[in-house]
Structure 1
């Protein structure tokens, strides 16, 4: 269906869903208050979408540190790396439109040259090392392209294998800001935010026209000795890897626009989500800013977000079921310590509850 705006969708109700689906959404929603307490989440916003319609919205807790302001539909969050899914979608569409070329060498930008003088020999593990027993192949600057960066194929032989590398992904926006005729923020607005009518999303602290989003921001919180303590706000401005602030409803707007033809055709969307092959002949777990995973007969398209001791998020889309889970939190309570070399959203405690409610088994 054509995207008609969140208020109209809510007014229409779940007319495109079955009774079993609605019951599953209700069952899942019934357990969210308990999950919030267990996970340590002060402000928690959760939306379930079925067949292009919001069937469940839950706004739990408080969006301030005094417990005076209840979480609501206008509560916004820093969504951390969920930004990558929207940035990757923007880059895919801009490439198909001929506005940018994903095969452009990153070395075309002076910023990349400065980055390469520092990053390979830094102590940052994404330049090479070990993350919880996972070997990170060495990073080399030569031969890298925008496509390698957006597909997370920059460690080891460029363009060969997937390894999650958020630092290199973040350079995408710096590259385009330097060499392109207009900045990355304007591309994201033109290809994603504006077509999806995402009016409650701010692209970083300096997005002055969207100041109302930041005025409704749930502050970052971390539990210390049994109580929640307010944390410093993220200090980086908008970039390809992170920096979007939004409400759960605005992320739902994006998801619906992605599915109903507003942003792209079904064929183009499938192209965007078709991963390249790794050196071992298996499909990559990441493409165009999205994790892609097979779990039994299910295809899981998703991204997570994690700002340590501050924010966490889950955005999971299941295209064959036309089912989406969106969860935003102002603590790291949704984070479970995922690996950098594979997609494993099924290990998320919240996603496990979601699958249980919908009777999904591997």
Structure 2
């Protein structure tokens, strides 16, 4: 089944259209939109995704918002653009906004050793001795790691020299942020992200902070492919601490609000926004495929900034921006079907079939078309 809304200007109330109907507003979308939506639905089905919600933002306005399939298979609840999902690691760009906002206010120094803010040295030593994949290569002496190293995933080996995606260390970044601000991290996200962006259908959650009851009732439950080959309800992911790597529930329309607020300068200065979306650089000037809270790479002469999200057997997400075109694509799912096996030491959004569908539909006529996807240089 398909519920579709096409929005021409700004953020408008989301209502549904019956399967097979055209746009709710004549002229709101280009002729390519129906084919794009059909391709997304085909990808959803082939990936065994019960419910998918998608938004496209262009020139700081929502031009497409839709739900495909079911948010809740058992209850036959349709997915819509207002359906809330656990967005997993797509939380990271929101957390980076908090850090950069506090840096703008002089509350936080991204380049000050974290040991000055928190018990980093003790944690680093303990974690480096664990068998975790994310503890490999972590060097704790001398204790020179900074918040910038954690937010750019350059904390392993010699800090700042190479990229290796590390959600455990990124999560720990909330500790020095809370220590500097003297406020719980979830409260900082509410203050510096949700409120100014008008994200009324979003919330933080962790072990000591349950979702508001109304949002919890509307949350798309996680699903997985069962042993019988049928889609089934999956266990809810275990609650975690008040970390920076995850812990946000949101709808695609709320993430579209975040996208617009970010580009309009309501969350950060233009200078900070550019810094978070620029590739980090090693000491020899090599561009690394991650900025502050965003993966960064090149596509046909355009810089792509993006983040994926994945909870195994539960949720997946993709948030992709093309700043030069003022164009963004957001997709949330109630299974792991959007996720692809992305290398920890590379940024390869081209491996996502959903990203490819979007790029082919919206960037086909962009300058330098015909070039191949390339790593950041």
Please give the range of the TM-score, normalised by the shorter of the 2 chains.
Answer: 0.7 to 0.9
Distance in 2 between residues matched to 1:295 and 1:332, nearest whole Å: 25
Distance in 1 between residues matched to 2:179 and 2:240, nearest whole Å: 18
Give the number of equivalent residue pairs.
343
Query: Residue in 2 aligned with 1:230?
Result: 233
Query: Residue in 2 aligned with 1:133?
Result: none
Distance in 2 between residues matched to 1:24 and 1:98, nearest whole Å: 47
**1:213-243 CA distance string (max 9 Å, x none):** 2221111111023112222212214420011
Aligned ranges for residues 28-177 of structure 1 at < 5 Å? 28-108=36-116, 111-128=119-136, 137-140=137-140, 142-177=143-178
Cα distance, 1:90 vs structure 2:
1.5
Distance in 1 between residues matched to 2:335 and 2:210, nearest whole Å: 25
Aligned with 1:260 (options 242, 261, 264): 264
Aligned CA RMSD, in angstroms, stands at: 2.3
Aligned with 1:345 (options 331, 349, 366): 349
- Greater displacement, 246-255 / 200-209: 200-209
- Greater displacement, 101-110 / 85-94: 101-110
Which structure exhibits the higher relative contact order, with contacts defined as CA atoms closer than 8 Å and separated by 6 or more residues? 1
Matched, 1:283 2:284: no
> Structure 1 pair 159/263, CA: closer, same or farther in 2 (3 Å)?
same
Unaligned runs of at least 5 residues, structure 2 = 1-8, 16-26, 373-377
Cα distance, 1:41 vs structure 2:
0.7
> Structure 1 pair 36/337, CA: closer, same or farther in 2 (3 Å)?
same
SS in structure 1 at match of 2:55:
strand
Q: Is the 8 A contact 2:281 2:288 kept in 1?
A: yes
> Structure 1 pair 209/165, CA: closer, same or farther in 2 (3 Å)?
closer
Aligned ranges for residues 200-215 of structure 1 at < 5 Å? 200-205=201-206, 206-207=208-209, 210-215=212-217
- Greater displacement, 92-101 / 231-240: 231-240
> Structure 1 pair 139/5, CA: closer, same or farther in 2 (3 Å)?
farther
Query: Residue in 2 aligned with 1:317?
Result: 321
Q: Is the 8 A contact 1:108 1:179 kept in 2?
A: no
Q: Is the 8 A contact 2:205 2:249 kept in 1?
A: yes
> Structure 1 pair 23/170, CA: closer, same or farther in 2 (3 Å)?
same
> Structure 1 pair 256/73, CA: closer, same or farther in 2 (3 Å)?
same
Give TM-score, length-normalised by structure 1: 0.88
- Greater displacement, 60-69 / 286-295: 60-69
Q: Is the 8 A contact 1:76 1:245 kept in 2?
A: yes
Query: Residue in 1 aligned with 2:338?
Result: 334
Distance in 1 between residues matched to 2:321 and 2:358, nearest whole Å: 12
- Greater displacement, 294-303 / 109-118: 109-118
Distance in 2 between residues matched to 1:314 and 1:298, nearest whole Å: 18
> Structure 1 pair 194/20, CA: closer, same or farther in 2 (3 Å)?
closer
Q: Is the 8 A contact 1:25 1:55 kept in 2?
A: no
Cα distance, 1:114 vs structure 2:
4.2
Cα distance, 1:146 vs structure 2:
1.1
Q: Is the 8 A contact 1:214 1:245 kept in 2?
A: no
